[in-house]
């Protein structure tokens, strides 16, 4: 890339690191410099004929690692360039907390699944 695109930030130990936004910017730059099939490797996306993919992590037993698996899977897919929507339906909201959302302070009463179910059109 030789000076093109975003520059990495330096950590206190001298290591360089990129934010996810910077990584995506680099992906788009690389996709723009290639043609055809190779460009999709840098910016993965669905084609018009492809259906939305849904991955559910379920198990009846508590404490089996569903939340941890979901968080790692969501982060991995996001780092690979995919758009990810993680839906946390657990009353403890552990996945939300792992992803940086504090339900007690960050989520309003009309920003829940219950609000979507009771939708009144206003």
Which tens digits make up the pLDDT trace of 28-44? Answer: 887 777 666 666 667 77
Determine the pLDDT at residue 70.
94
Q: Would you state the torsion angle of the CA atoms of residues 117, 115, 95, 97, taken in this order, to the nearest 10 degrees?
A: -170
Q: Which residues of the chain have pLDDT under 50?
A: none
HSE of 28, CA atoms in CB hemisphere, 13 A:
8
Q: Residue 7 burial by CB count (10 A; 0-12/13-18/19+): exposed, middle or buried?
A: exposed
Contact by Cβ (8 Å): 6, 26: yes
Put simply, whether the predicted model's pTM sits higher than 0.85 gets the answer: no
Q: Which of the 8 DSSP states describes residue 46?
A: -
């Amino acid at each position: 890339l030789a000076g093109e695109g975003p520059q990495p930030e330096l950590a206190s130990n001298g290591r360089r690191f990129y934010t996810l936004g910077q990584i995506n910017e680099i992906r788009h730059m690389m996709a723009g410099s290639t043609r055809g099939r190779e460009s999709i490797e840098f910016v993965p996306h669905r084609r018009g004929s492809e259906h939305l993919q849904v991955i559910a992590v379920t198990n009846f037993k508590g404490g089996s690692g569903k939340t941890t698996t979901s968080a790692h899977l969501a982060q991995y897919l996001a780092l690979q360039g995919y758009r990810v929507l993680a839906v946390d339906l657990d009353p403890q909201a552990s996945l939300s907390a792992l992803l940086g959302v504090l339900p007690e302070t960050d989520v309003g009463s009309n920003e829940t699944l219950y609000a979507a179910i009771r939708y009144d059109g206003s």
